[in-house]
Amino acid sequence: MMRNLTPLGEIHRSVGHRKIARGEGRSAVLRRHYNVPIEDVWRACTEADRVSRWLIEPEGDLREGGTYVLPEHAHGRILRCDAPHTLTLSWIYEDYPADEVELRLSPADGGGTMLELEHTTVEEPAALAESLAQVGVGWENGTDTLERYLRGDLPDAPRQAKQEPSEDETRRITESDLLWRKTIAAALGTGEVAAEES
């Protein structure tokens, strides 16, 4: 099921700065291309039945100013919804303070859609690199699944809340983790960031 996914080397990873409600934050920024029109990517990321095919079905008042719940994942408020270009959410996982996730879509040169996802956190310096690595890898894995959905490679049925990754997915996640840690180490000036033992 991993056939022809965007090569890891073609996915842009960076660390940004962004002010969110909690204060000045650092962010994992992921940018990748999808070979489909912007409206298709927007609907896949904002319509509950479509989100359920590649992530999990959101519940709640799914409009700007409303709240959402991704069962067993996160919950928060829809801060901005400017179709088909920008979606901004507060992102609360368990009892952690609110992060912010912003999805930005634009037409890509040569056709298709450029997706940029920025997950911003306000974290203590000692925990920042690990936090950014986790959200970067998590969103990269999620946007891999989105790519499979947009190509029609997933069953036309809601995904289960928890699914064990295949051997190929595990290998790709491990490689993604190393790339994120190198990006974060370079951006934060911390040297090599070791991956956690699993």
| pLDDT values of the chain reduced to their tens digit, one per residue, 198 residues | 456 899 999 999 999 999 999 999 999 999 999 999 999 999 999 999 999 999 999 999 999 999 999 998 899 999 999 999 999 999 999 988 999 999 999 999 999 999 999 999 999 999 999 999 999 999 999 999 999 999 999 988 888 756 788 899 999 999 999 999 999 999 998 765 455 433
Q: C-alpha angle 127/133/135, rounded to 5°?
A: 100
Q: How far apart are CA 99 and CA 89, in angstroms?
A: 9
Q: How far apart are CA 21 and CA 70, in angstroms?
A: 21
CATH fold group of domain 9-188:
Alpha-D-Glucose-1,6-Bisphosphate; Chain A, domain 4 (3.30.530)
139: left (phi over 0), alpha (psi -120 to 50) or beta: alpha
Beta bridge partners of 16: 27
pTM over 0.85: yes
147: how many CB neighbours lie within 10 A of its CB?
21
- Give every CB contact of residue 73 below 8 A, 6+ residues apart in sequence: 55, 56, 93, 161
Of 118, 38, 120, 52, the closest CA to residue 82 belongs to: 38
Q: How far apart are CA 174 and CA 165, in angstroms?
A: 11
